[in-house]
Structure 1
Amino acid sequence: MHDYQRPPTLHRYGQQAELELALREGQFRLLASGNCLTLGFSTAWDPALFDLHGADACLIIHNTEEFGERLHRAVQRTLPNWAGIDGAVEYHGRSPLGATFTRTREERNEREWLFAWRPMHSQMSMNPVTVRIGSIEQFAELRARDAYVS
Structure 2
Amino acid sequence: MHDYQRPPTLHRYAPRAELSAALLEGQFRLTPANQALVLSFSTRWDDVLFDQYAADGACLVIHNTELFGERLHRAVQKTLPSWAGIDGVVEYGARAALGALFTKSLAEAHEHEWQFAWRPMSPQARMNALTVKIGNIESFAEIRERGSYAA
TM-score by length of 2: 0.95
Give 1:65's aligned residue.
66
Quote the offset at 1:52 in angstroms: 2.9
Separation in structure 1 between the aligned mates of residue 60 and residue 2 of structure 2, nearest angstrom: 26
Asked if residue 12 in structure 1 is aligned to residue 12 in structure 2, the reply is yes
Matched, 1:34 2:40: no
Question: Structure 2 vs 1, CA of residues 53 and 88 (structure 1 numbering), >3 Å: closer, same or farther?
Answer: farther
Q: How does 1:121-140 map to 2 (within 5 A)?
A: 121-140=122-141
AA aligned to 1:35 is Q
State the match for 1:94 in structure 2.
95
Structure 2 runs not aligned, ≥5 long: none
SS at match of 2:92: coil
Partners of 2:67 and 2:136 in 1: how far apart?
Answer: 12
Deviations 1:6-49, CA, capped at 9 Å, x for gaps: 00000000000110000000000000001100000000000001
Instruction: Give the whole-Å Cα distance in 2 for the aligned partners of 1:31 and 1:2.
Output: 28
Q: Distance in 1 between matches of 2:58 and 2:127?
A: 28
Query: Distance in 2 between the 1:44 and 1:142 partners?
Result: 14
In structure 1, runs of 5+ residues without a counterpart are: none
Other structure's SS at 1:14 match: strand
Question: Per the alignment, in what secondary structure is the counterpart of residue 122 of structure 2?
Answer: coil
* C-alpha distance in structure 1 between counterparts of 2:116 and 2:96, whole Å: 14
CA distance 1:143–1:67, shift in 2 (3 Å): same
Indicate the residue corresponding to 1:25 in structure 2. 25
Q: CA offsets per residue over residues 47-78 of structure 1, 9 Å max, x none?
A: 00111344610000000000000000000000
Counterparts of 1:28 and 1:21, CA distance in 2? 8
* CA distance in structure 1 between the aligned counterparts of 2:53 and 2:109, rounded to whole angstroms: 14
- Structure 1 ranges of 4+ moved more than 2 A: 1-4, 52-55
Counterpart position of 1:149: 150
Aligned residues between the structures: 150
Residues 53/104 of structure 1: CA separation in 2 closer, same or farther (3 Å cut) = farther
Q: Determine the C-alpha separation between the residues in 2 that align with 1:53 and 1:113.
A: 19
Instruction: Name the CA distance, whole Å, in 2 between partners of 1:81 and 1:19.
Output: 28
Question: Partner letter of residue 113 of structure 2?
Answer: E
Q: CA RMSD in A?
A: 1.2
After TM superposition, give the deviation of residue 92 of structure 1 in Å.
3.5
